[in-house]
Amino acid sequence: MASPPDPSWLLLVVSLPTSGATARMRIWRSLKTLGCMPLRDGAYLLPAGAQREQALQELADECTLEGGTAWLMAIAPRSAAEAAAYRQLFDRSDDYAGLRKTWKDANRSLHALTATELVRLQKRLQREYDAVRAVDFFGGEAGKEAEAAWTELGKRIGALLSPDEPHEAAGQVPRLERDQYQGRLWATRRHLWVDRVASAWLIRRFIDGQARFRWLAKPSDCPRKALGFDFDGAAFSHVADRVTFETLMAAFGLEQDAALLRIAAIVHVLDVGGEPVPEAKGFEAVMAGARERLSGDDALLADISGVLDSLYAHFEREARART
């Protein structure tokens, strides 16, 4: 006798008292967040998985506490056709299409938004996108197309938050002597954003304590005597996979500083993306709020320098504790 197929799906069957409207709504929202698909009233299907099973069991327990009944079962399709039908229930193409329409509509009004509004919009759209991706259990072309569209929208928002963003250049970063770079005039694009403000802080704190800064309306305004940073053709900018902050660290021998490396990781992910960093979202929010609140780049640098000083002190203490 052939053995039955391995259970690959979870089925939660719940029933709540008619008086429990609030509990019913709360449980329904939780089921929707988990990505469950209703087979009929009170019966919800979900692909098997340890975390999903635990979440459904917690909802089943909640139903019981509310005076209802709940059965959580592991089930298996009886045929390939039935398995395909189950998977089809979880096709997220319509959800991705809705997201892409929202992004297209949002793109039309980006130029009219302030920096704070742009960051707020980006965060809201990111949450909506993450919610769909979290329940896209089987992937597909719609998800790939949405990922490409989201990347393009992110580039447009990034270009507005940080116009004239430099392109990465090939090559190596030469090692420089700090004593040859003292009391200099440094220049970068105005309306500072993450990489530029962090680089200016790094310059004044660790490279040139007497640095003076010029904020440029456009890169071509850079004085010949100034050391430009974070724009194409500048003395210091993106090199290979390094953002400007990391290029400066490499050029002036600061890459052994564990606390600076932690800050570099924040700057990198916020400037060009990459591996998520826990502190990045908080720093981005502080940066956006400061740029909205303050009237000029000198004030912004002074304000954010205090934040970076605090982050550096915190990371330095953590680094000492590990040694």
Domain of residue 77, CATH code: 3.30.70.240
pLDDT at 274: 82
Its domain, for residue 149, covers 93-161
User: Any idea what DSSP says for residue 166?
Assistant: P
Query: Are residues 236 and 215 part of one domain?
Result: yes
CA–CA dist 252, 233 (Å, integer): 19
**Could you give the CA distance from residue 149 to residue 154 in angstroms, rounded to a whole number?**
9
18 shares a domain with 69: yes
Residue 28 shares a structural domain with residue 145: no
Quote the pLDDT of residue 6.
Answer: 56
pLDDT (0 to 100) of residue 2: 46
The predicted pLDDT at position 199 comes to 98
> Does residue 73 contact residue 10 with C-beta atoms inside 8 Å?
yes
CB 82: neighbour CB atoms within 10 A?
Answer: 11
Regarding whether 70 and 15 lie in a shared domain, the answer is: yes
Q: Is 112 left (phi over 0), alpha (psi -120 to 50) or beta?
A: alpha
Instruction: With cut-offs at 50, 70 and 90, classify the pLDDT of residue 7.
Output: low
- Is the pLDDT at 234 greater than 90? The verdict is yes
Q: Is residue 282 part of a domain?
A: yes
Give pLDDT tens digits for 159-174. Answer: 787 777 777 777 789 9
Tell whether 184 and 317 lie within a shared domain: yes
Q: How many degrees, rounded to 5, is the angle at CA 287 between CA 284 and CA 288?
A: 85
The number of folded domains in the chain is 3
- Side chain identity at residue 317, one-letter code: R
- Check whether 24 has a pLDDT greater than 90: no
Q: Answer yes or no: is pLDDT of 34 > 90.
A: yes
Long-range CB pairs of 54-57 (<8 Å, 24+ gap) are 55/30, 56/10, 56/12
Of 58, 73, 89, the one marking the end of a domain is: 89
Indicate the burial class of 218 (C-beta count within 10 angstroms; 0-12, 13-18, 19 or more): exposed
Q: Which amino acid is at 68?
A: G
Identity of residue 298: D
